[in-house]
A and B are shown apart, each in its own frame.
Chain A
């Protein structure tokens, strides 16, 4: 197998055993690759300095004690339920089961009741509230834009697949935000749309923060 200097980084990143052998061969006649290879390997050797697998004799007894206490606590919780139900006479147990089924059926009936037209008074924003929401939203969007400006260099030239994924995610979020803003523009008093928009902004904020965290 023939490798050249151009293959070096790719092999460093994801080379097969055969490619590594070929690179070693090439490095014997190429001073630059020889240096690079030597330096690359010495990092792996140096990593050993961070390896300290010495025994900690006091640690296991401490963990064992904590595990025992936690196991006892879990067991006690289980027993308290079991003993509560198990100590009841059979007739009471049957009555409790009947009551439980009845509650279940009433709940199901409530959930499956025919839908009346929704009363939207609560979810329609009144004009004063609407102005406040729009002010807050505009301030929030400006703050997110500042975050986006900080993350822009990384997003424009994503150095890792993770960064490329972040960029894709932000594109999807921006598109969803545009859609929601268009809908909110047609129906500005709809609080539900505002909540959805807020959730999208929050997701965008979180994503940008993660990107900036990666940067650090």
Chain B
């Protein structure tokens, strides 16, 4: 199975894929430049201390550094920009409430993202519960109404939609690790801390996630032949 086997015409959707792929380095270096790493740690510690002191400018700094990434991750987990914004806001409020209990076992940013991921799943659960209640009500009203096939609307999905659909079928851990590593660019050491799993488990989960995604995005055998006819 190769790229030609994937359901999407990757090359047409990512025009420069052929040129860019030579430069892609799947191995993400574990060792950052020592000075940069040290500076990053110092900034992280200072940010945590400033937030603990109640300085709202520190929260603004946290937002300016990571807000966009937080919102993107939340949107990919929750599937809606509005819910994502709510989740990011709730995360900031939880950070403010819980900062006194932050002991620095992990980095402050990692801790914040862990709160965000948990907040997103809390929101998903409560949304599912609401949907179940609404579905029960609706079923009572109208059992016979025809419903659209879930896949009918996405017969020719965009790359993003296809990926979102495939991601939704992964397990929670696989989805989280894929989003954090491949989309948000975190390292396995950071992901392991966010999701409270080992680094090896993070690597293995990403491997399984990518294997499953590839399988899902592969077209049924013979579809090219059928398409050619």
Contacts and interface: CB of A to CB of B under 8 A. Distances in A.
B8 to A, nearest CB: 8
A59 interface: yes
Nearest to A55: B68
A159 interface: yes
Given A9-B207, A50-B183, A161-B204, A39 B93 contact: no
B201 interface: yes
Interface residues of A, number: 50
Contacts of A49: 13-14, 158-160, 163
A115 interface: no
A215 B171 contact: yes
B46 to A, nearest CB: 19
Contacts of B198: 161
A174 to B, nearest CB: 23
B109 interface: no
Interface string A6-42: 0001001111110110000000000000111011111
Nearest to B184: A51
A41 B21 contact: yes
B214 interface: yes
A106 interface: no
Contacts of B204: 13-14, 160-161
Contact of A53 (B20, B69, B197): B69
A52 B92 contact: no
Given A67-B56, A160-B204, A214-B173, A59 B2 contact: no
B155 interface: no
B10 A64 contact: no
A56 interface: yes
A54 B56 contact: no
Given A45-B17, A161-B201, A50 B160 contact: yes
Contacts of B26: 12, 15, 20, 40-41, 44
Contacts of B214: 39-40, 43
Contact of A35 (B4, B27, B167, B171): B4
A15 B29 CA distance: 11
B52 interface: no
A46 interface: yes
A39 B8 CA distance: 12
Given A16-B27, A64-B56, A38 B1 contact: no
B193 interface: no
Contacts of A128: none
Contacts of B178: 47
Contacts of A9: 207
A14 B203 CA distance: 6
Contacts of B183: 47-48, 50-51
16 contacts: A12-B210, A20-B27, A40-B210, A42-B6, A46-B8, A49-B14, A50-B179, A59-B85, A60-B60, A63-B88, A67-B59, A70-B97, A71-B96, A74-B96, A162-B197, A213-B172
When A and B form their complex, which 7 residue pairs have the shortest distance between CB atoms, in order from nearest?
A35-B2, A47-B182, A53-B68, A13-B207, A39-B3, A49-B160, A20-B27
Interface of A: 9, 12-17, 19-20, 34-36, 38-56, 59-60, 62-64, 66-68, 70-71, 74, 159-162, 213-216
Interface of B: 1-6, 8, 10, 13-14, 17, 20-21, 24-27, 29, 54, 56, 59-60, 63-64, 67-69, 71-72, 75-76, 85, 88-89, 92-93, 96-97, 158-160, 163-164, 167, 171-173, 178-179, 182-184, 197-198, 200-201, 203-208, 210, 213-214
